[in-house]
């Protein structure tokens, strides 16, 4: 009887892990993929524009990912990409993405805890554990993040359309 109770307990723990854990893992994976797609898109735009300009190339600039792409677009290409609320949130989302991808959400060793707490307060779609060793993305996280990406993409599109593509 003791074994049967223990096995039933283990099965329940497994069910709870699947019920609660799977959505969190899925949301994290969707977020990391979507953020990576944004980064790839911005870098691709820079690579497309790069041969048409005189000046430093994308690889000549400091920074990484979307920050370097933004720097290239604004400083080298001269596009009026706004330093909007959406852009500022995307920078913070980048810190969250790095924590999830590189430290599995454990913020205790990172220097980004304050920035991620700032983002959590702004978007209210994820929570941090009290000790900073975990991040839980809510069901509203992905739609809110994608809404931010879409708003910034519209801003970027307008800046590129007017300045670089001459429309």
pLDDT at 14: 86
What is the pTM (predicted TM-score) of this model? Answer: 0.84
Structure tokens at 14: 């497994």
Query: Residue with structure tokens 């949301």?
Result: 27
Give me the pLDDT at residue 112, please.
85
Q: Give pLDDT tens digits for 1-36.
A: 578 888 888 888 888 877 777 888 899 999 999 999
- Please provide the distance, in angstroms rounded to a whole number, between the alpha carbons at the two ends of the chain: 76
Q: Which of 13, 32, 8 is nearest to 100 (CA)?
A: 32
DSSP state of 138: -
Q: pLDDT, tens digit, for every residue of 93-121?
A: 999 998 888 877 777 776 788 899 999 99
């Amino acid at each position: 009887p003791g074994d049967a109770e223990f096995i039933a307990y283990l099965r329940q723990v497994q069910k709870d892990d699947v019920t609660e854990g799977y959505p969190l893992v899925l949301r994290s994976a969707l977020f990391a993929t979507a953020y990576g797609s944004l980064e790839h898109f911005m870098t691709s735009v820079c690579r497309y524009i790069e041969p048409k300009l005189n000046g430093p190339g994308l690889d000549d600039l400091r920074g990484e990912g979307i920050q370097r792409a933004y720097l290239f677009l604004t400083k080298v290409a001269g596009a009026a990409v706004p330093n909007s609320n959406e852009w500022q949130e995307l920078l913070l989302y980048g810190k969250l993405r790095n924590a999830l991808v590189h430290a599995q959400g454990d913020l205790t060793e990172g220097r980004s805890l304050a920035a991620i707490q700032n983002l959590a307060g702004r978007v209210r779609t994820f929570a941090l554990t009290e000790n900073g060793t975990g991040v839980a993305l809510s069901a509203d996280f992905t739609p809110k993040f994608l809404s931010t990406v879409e708003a910034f993409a519209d801003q970027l599109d307008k800046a590129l359309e007017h300045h670089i593509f001459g429309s």
